Amino acid sequence: MGDEDDAAAADRRPEDDPPDRSDRPGARSRRPSVAFAALAVVGLTALCLYARCSGGQDVTPEALADAREAWARAMIRDYDLEWTSSGIARNHYFVTVRAGEVRKVEAVAPDGRRFEMAPAEKRFYGVDGLFTTIADELAQLRTERPFGQPPGARIVMRFAPDPKLGYPRLYRRDVMGTAQGLAIDVVRLTPAGDGPSAPGSPP
């Protein structure tokens, strides 16, 4: 048996043995490096999701005032507005506005069916309501604990007003290091009657 074992050992080639990776450069640090890279990608993705990669501009009192003035000049008081919000919860709304007042708010199901809602404050669902929401969020930055976070927390807020009509086509808020992101997107704004959808809205 000993002679057979010695012969078998002599016939073995280096590639028949499993490679020993313990002495390779970087063998021990590879996993931490991969983990660090993954965390970096996740962080950048979160920032892109809610802020910089969404386009638009920083939310400031001046930028918000300019957008509101453009919307007021457009004098669109009868319109249908469809918009979505996502973050902790996902919502999809179809809003009917006449004479500047929100007359009806409907929830849109994934299959497209609409169900009328009875919110306590309908006014928050029209364009003026979206402006109010953004302004209220901006005011949070002046509080002692914005969005419940300690002073100095990294908070990014951006929006994209329609270049002609001023209404906010999208809004992004990200409280870095938390799950408190918020995304609002206007799907379409359609003036009442036979008028086309507002610029920037899908047909």
> pLDDT by residue (tens digit) across 115-138?
999 999 999 999 999 999 999 999
| pLDDT the model gives residue 148 | 86
Closest to 201 (Cα-Cα) out of 113, 83, 101, 97: 83
Mean residue pLDDT of the chain comes to 79
What pLDDT score was predicted for residue 180? 83
Of 182, 187, 162, 163, the residue nearest 172 (C-alpha): 182
pLDDT band at 193 (very low <50, low <70, confident <90, very high): confident
Distances (CA, A) of 195 to 44, 49, 108, 146: 41, 33, 22, 41
Per CATH, is 46-191 categorized as 1.10.287? no
Is residue 16 over pLDDT 80? no
106: closest CA among 95, 120, 97? 95
Phi/psi of residue 30, nearest 5 degrees: -65, -50
Mean pLDDT of 149-175: 94
Share of the chain above pLDDT 70, in %: 68
Region 27-40: what's the mean pLDDT?
A: 41
pLDDT higher for 150 or 26?
A: 150
Query: Comparing C-alpha atoms, which of 71, 84, 85, 96 is closest to residue 164?
Result: 71
* HSE of 16, CA atoms in CB hemisphere, 13 A: 6
pLDDT beyond 80 at 166: yes
pTM above 0.75, yes or no: no
Residue with structure tokens 């009328």? 116
What pLDDT does residue 54 have?
Answer: 56
Asked whether the predicted pLDDT for residue 35 surpasses 80, the reply is: no
pLDDT for 41: 38
191 CB-near residues (< 8 Å, 6+ apart): 76, 78, 79, 198
Helix (H) or strand (E) holding 79: strand 79-86
For 91, the token pair is 């919502």
DSSP state of 148: G
User: Angle at CA 83, nearest 5°, toward 82 and 87?
Assistant: 160
Q: Residues 43-102: pLDDT tens digits?
A: 444 444 444 445 789 999 999 999 999 999 999 999 999 999 998 889 999 999 999 999
